[in-house]
Each structure stands twice: as structure tokens, then as C-alpha cells.
Structure 1
């Protein structure tokens, strides 16, 4: 009887997992702000998850060698489910952090799925198999953020409940579609390459140092880290940036010295003691400030509060709520699918990998600079298009170059280090950007990833050419 391929169940499992994850991407910052978090604290949610996953993923990978991929995948998915439920039921900021920590300490869904495929496919078929995971990721990133933004219209907790439901579905798929594995004691020792994505321990400094000392491989790892840092800074802070840059009426910028603030409640009253003065819940307006009365209404007072004669009600468009941020990520994901689904191979053949990496860093840096000066929706869409090309090129091409330079029997460790570098970037970049947004330095926030991408361009330009593999550190047993 022909053995059933694991590709379809793995595809479905990864797709459902990624959908659940991407649904909450546009919402975490807004959700944290709901509980009084500053931009710095809100972006730290990303870093907390990265720290936990950096420590736990190698441990989960090692345990999966002993008890089986399927069993550890179920445990990892259960942790994700618990994390989403904690987020949905949160009533204070500490519960939001606990939800992210729960998800982080059981992180490993993707690396376990990759390892499962590596165990159950022949070496010559693995590139195609991993491509299936890439397609699942692309579809998830294309539809997840938009779905999350739409669900947020019914309450910020709703997307987290839906994500939890998808996590439960992924557990069901794993339990029913993946076959039970051979008991560990009967598994023959592997003499081939280490499963893709196997990471060294978080504190295995010696291994990281050894690989970084290799001329071309070390340079490629630095490029990957710089790309990941810039991308993480952008993705973690964009919602907070857009909320502050675009969620006010232009009139608020034209006459900042002649506006007053309404506080506490949406009910407007006129004071009989001070004729013409607008009160809110019995309190007079404070001169020089403004107030958003509702989701699409701003009340602006054009005279000092003590001399108010009237107030003008303006209908303000808020183009960057959670809904619109989700749609923006969806647009970027769609462009990424077009690029990685069919164009990237042709571009590599036409221009070569080195030129594409250089062009990718230039495009990313240009997009981030333009974002700093963007004040219209059309400008943001232009930025999204340029960044989709830059970031869509950099990740697969740099990863491809790493696999070409690393030894044939080092692929698992080589790619695992890339994953760890991505986690390190997610630890450092979000709070860096969050601190700048916290101080209202919106242009500075955009220039940080632009500068990092520019450094990436310089490093790529100085990287020695060549596709030959560097000498391996050790041979397989």
C-alpha cells in the first residue's frame, strides 16, 4: 500500500496556525493600549514572545527527537491555544503579557512541521516540500491580517477568540491527519543533514561564534540580522505610528493654538455660568488641546475656552484603525505572494542573487524613509509596494545564499541560526521603535529601520562573491 504523503496535512496545519497568528498581528498594539500601555510597553509584547521562543524552541526540538514530532507539535499548539484564550479573556495588562509568554514558551510549530517533513520525505524532495510550507505562510499572511482587522470591528477581543478557534482546529488536524510515529527506540539514527530549522541553544555562544567567523557565512548572517531588525521595527510599530500620524483631522494641525480638549464623556453641554463655554461632564475645556468625541468625530474649539462662542463639529476620517492596518498588511502580503510565488525565480536568473540583495536593501531603506514623510493614504500604499519588493526579496535570497555557502550536512544548524537571529532582532527592534514613538519621534522611528537597511546594503556590497561551499565544521557520523 502506498504511503500517504505528509504534505497535505502539514500544509493545512501550518496554514491554520499562520492564520491564527496573523489575525492578531495588527491588533496587539491597540489591545495593549486599551489597558493603558505606552508604545514602548506595547511593542515589548513582541520582544517577550521572541525571548521565550528563543529559549524554548531548541528545547522543544530536542524533546521531539525523543518523544516524536507529532506529540511535541500537539503540545506546542496547545500552548498557542492557551495563549490566545488568555489574550481574549484579559482584563488587565499583565494578563496580556502572560498570554504572550504562554505562546512563546511553547513556540515551535513551524520548526516541528519542518522537522516532520524532513523525517518523512527523501532529501531530493525536501526543497519542494518546504516550498509547500512557504505557500501556506504566504496565504496566511495575505488573508490573516485583513481578517483580524475586520473582526476587530466587533470588539478587540473577537479576533483573539477566532485565533483560539483556529488553534483548536490545528490541534484537531494534527491529531487526526498526522500518522503516529515509530516509537523513539525503534527509529534508526539519522546520518543525513540535520532537520531544517534546528537551532542551537539560546546561550550556545560558541556555536554562533564559530559560524559567524566564517567569512561569507558570517557576512550573510549579519545581512539577515539587519534585514530582520529593520523589518521587525517596521511591523511592530506601524500600527502605533499610523494611529498617531493619520488619525487626526488636518484642521488639528493648522490651528493647534486655537483648539480645546473635551474629556471623560461624549455628552456636550453649554455652561450657563460661562456663556458659550462648552463643558464635558461638568468640566470646562482646557485651552490648546483637542478631543476625539467618537470613532469618526472631532470637536474643535477655535477660541480660548474662556471666550468660546461656538464649536465646529468635524467629520474626521480615521484611515488607520485596526481594520485599515489589517488591510494594509493584507495588501503587502498579496504583493509578497506575487513576488515569491512566481517572480523571484525569474529575477534571480535575470539579475543574480547578489544584485537582488543589494536592490532589496535599497528598496527597503527607501520605503522606510518615505514612510517617515508620508501623510496620505496613497503615500502609504506606495511605501507598502516598495517595501513588499524589498522585504520579499531579502528573506528568501539571503536564506538561499546561506544554504549554498553552508556545508551539505550543516543545513539544519545553518538555518536554525537564521531563526535565532530573527528572534534576536524581534527582541531588540520593537522596543527601540516603541521608545521613539513613545516620545512622538515619528520621523525618527521611520529612519531607524531605514538606517539599518542602509548598513545592510553596505555589508552586502562588501561580502565576498562566490557560490562554493565553505569547509564544514564536521562531517556526519
Structure 2
């Protein structure tokens, strides 16, 4: 374990996600200001995840072949360019602005697939028994970025207008690139025995056909799907349940505070408790228990009668969802060879991006029909997935091929 390198990767992901969180709350507002139709707003929101879905395995495979550092540097520089386009789009009007907005989010999605490479970097420099703990730090950076991004967006927009968040995100990515360029060492020295590249679909089939890895990716897909359904409908649920108006300052502020609260709880748990819980329970049981927590909090959420109940259920849900990702990716890494860390994690990330595309398409129409249905259905899915994880992952838990850590910069 190389603590300086882990810290730099943490900072890289944190700054990346601050940039992401800066613009996400503003996308529907900007798209609406550009006279976008409903499907065009959906396209703006889905462009990022769709490009991540396509490019995560590619960037992971590329980093397996040429090293992690050049891929991280290139993608970070690309992210800076995407936010420049976003800032420029926010100063335009009509169709041109909308096209630029979609293009900026699509390009950001390509570059944002570097979370795959960051996780592969962590796997490279961390012993197998500590990988779930280190993946928890990546999750913590993810959560904190989402918390501070919207706050910084509000400040930037107040002082610099509509283009302010784009310029702020560009500046952060530029700083991120400079830090990585000057400080971040290479973690992976490609060998002459690297695995031959496969086409996108063939790589998916190869990865999913590996029993343990395929099961873990399936669990991650379902967990991400359920959380995305919750995430895309929570604001509407709260506004409806407590008779708040979407276009009122109080309504927007209340929903923002709830997301910050949930993100903070999740980030603290991922950064502080993951390692100890993995040691106490083991990855398979922790994954199952995290899904059980999601199930018992997600199902009752639409029936909460007061703010105390909402906050308790949100805390349980945040704890559960934050404890799923680190052990899943720790196990995926431990069941993958050193030569396939990047591409295997890339396929898993791609599955998560697919879930983030499908989730809102499933949840929002269902929520319109009956508000409780997305929560009840996703609660049931989480419960069944937890049972599956408890039964299947605990069998033959020894990793088939454990990739040993490399020395960063070697």
C-alpha cells in the first residue's frame, strides 16, 4: 500500500466529482432555458452515463496495455475541455446552446470513465486483503465530490453568472491535471503477456461468463439501478409529501439539504467503517447486509409521516448503499488477474452506467402512476439480491487469481 499514491488518486476522484456535481443540478434548468423538449432534457441527462457505459471498458483495457498514468492524464485534460464547452454553451441561446450542452456532457462522460482507471490504480498498489477498504476511500471521494459540487455551483453562479459553474469546474480539472502530471507515479508496468483486446460486446460476454465476477457485476448493476430509482424520484417525493413547490427557494433548498445529508452519511461510512466491517464480516456478508439495509429503508420511505422518519430512513439507506460498492469492487479486483484489472473494473463500471440510464426511465413514469411503486419494487429487488449475495458469494470465497500489488512508479 503506497499512501501518497492513494491520497493523490483520492484527490483526483474528489476533484473530478466536484466538477461533476457542479453542473448536474443545473442541467435541467439550463436545458429548459434553451427551450428543450422533455426528451431533449432526458438526452442531456443521459449523455454522460451513456458515454461512460460505452467507454469505461475501453479506458480500462487501454490502461492495462499502456499504463494507468497516461490514461488518467489524458482523461483529466479532456474533462477540463468538456467544462469549457459547458461554460461556452451556457452563454449561448436556443438550438446551438442545446447542441453544445449535449456535446459537453457526452465528452465529459467519455473522460469521466476514468473512475475505472482510478480503481485499477488502487488495485495495483494495494494488497488483496485491503482492496475493499481502499475502494471505500474511492467511494468516499465520490460522495464528498457530490456534496461540495452543488455548493460550489451555487457560489460560482452567484458571482459569475450562468457560465460560472462551467469555469469553476474547468479550473478544478486544470488543477487536477497539474497535480497528477507533477506528482502521480505510474502504478502498472504493462508486461509482454497482456491479454489481447476484445471487441466491446465480446469483452462484456467474456467478463460476465466468469461465474464470481459475473455475479458481482450483476449485483452491482441491481444495486445501482435501485439507488438511481431512489435518487431520481426523491426530490419529487419530498415536494409532494410535504407540500413544497419545485420553483420555490424553500423547496429547492430542502431537497438539496437532503441530498447533502445522505451524501455526507454515505461518505463518512465509506471512509471510516468499510475496512473494519470487511475484517469483521468478510466481503460476501457485508454485501448482503448492505443490501438488506437498503431494502428495509427503501420500501418504507414513501410512507414516512414526518421529517424524523425521513431522516432515519435516509441515513439507513445511505449507510446500506455506501457499503455495497467497496466490497463488490474489492472482490471483483481479487478475482481478476493483474493483466485484466482495468478492463474488468471497466465492464463493472459500464454496468453501473447502464443502470443509471435505465433507472430513471423505469422509476419516473412509475412514480407518476403511483409514488410508492418504485420504492416498493426496488426494496424487493434489494432484498432478493441480498439473499442471492448471502447464498452465492459465501461459497468458495477464495479468489481464483489474486493480483499482487505493484510498486507505484516501478
Q: Normalising TM by the smaller chain, what interval? A: 0.7 to 0.9
Which stretch shifts more, 390-399 or 23-32?
Answer: 23-32
Instruction: Report 1 or 2 for greater relative contact order, CA contacts < 8 Å, sequence distance ≥ 6.
Output: 2
Distance 1:455 1:151, change over 3 A: farther
Question: Which residue of structure 2 lines up, in the alignment, with residue 457 of structure 1?
Answer: 386
Task: Considering fraction of residues, name the structure with more strand.
Answer: 1
Alignment match, 2:200? 202
Residue of structure 2 equivalent to 1:227 = 223
CA distance in 1, matches of 2:16, 2:43: 22
Distance (Å, rounded) in 2 between the aligned partners of 1:86 and 1:245: 38
Equivalents in 2 of 1:328, 1:22: separation in Å? 15
Give the TM-score, by structure 1 length.
0.67
Deviations 1:271-319 (A, max 9, x none): xxxxxxxxxxxxxxxxxxxxx9xx65xxxxxxxxxxxxxxxxxxxxx54
Q: Which residue of 2 aligns with 1:320?
A: 251
Q: 1:417 & 1:58 partners in 2: Cα distance?
A: 5
Question: How is 1:296-445 mapped onto 2 (pairs within 5 angstroms)?
Answer: 296=248, 319-321=250-252, 323-374=253-304, 376-405=306-335, 411-436=341-366, 439=368, 441-445=370-374
* Mapped contact 2:286–2:323 kept (Cα < 8 A): yes
- Tell me the number of residue pairs that the alignment of Structure 1 and Structure 2 aligns: 392
Over the residues paired in the alignment, what is the CA RMSD in angstroms? 4.0
1:255-266 to 2 correspondences below 5 Å: none
For 2:55, the equivalent position in structure 1 comes to: 56
Residue equivalent to 1:446: 375
Structure 1: tracts of 5 or more residues without a match: 250-291, 297-317, 473-477
Shift of 1:245: 5.0
3-state SS of the aligned residue for 1:466? coil
Aligned to 1:303: none
Partner of 1:24: 23
Change (3 A) 1:147 1:380: farther
Deviation per CA, 1:51-93: give whole Å up to 9, x if none. 2122223334455566664444333223322332333333344
Residues of 1 paired with 2:390 and 2:137: CA distance? 32
Correspondence 1:266-285 to 2 at 5 A: none
Structure showing greater radius of gyration is 1
1:61–1:248 CA distance, 2 compared to 1 (3 A): closer
Corresponding residue number in structure 2 for 1:315 = none
| Cα distance change of structure 1 residues 233 and 95 upon mapping to structure 2, 3 Å threshold | farther
Tell me, yes or no, if structure 1 residue 106 matches structure 2 residue 111. Answer: yes
1:334 shift after superposition: 1.9
Q: Distance in 1 between matches of 2:50 and 2:276?
A: 37
- Closer, same or farther: CA 70–412 of 1 in aligned 2, 3 Å: closer
Asked whether the 8 Å contact 1:46–1:236 carries over to 2, the reply is no
3-state SS of paired residue (2:77): helix
Shift, 1:402, TM fit: 3.5
Aligned partner of residue 26 in structure 1, secondary structure = helix
Give, in whole Å, the separation in 2 of the partners of 1:452 and 1:238: 18
Residue 222 (structure 1) shift: 2.0
5 Å-filtered alignment, 1:123-162, equals 127=131, 133-148=138-153, 157-162=163-168
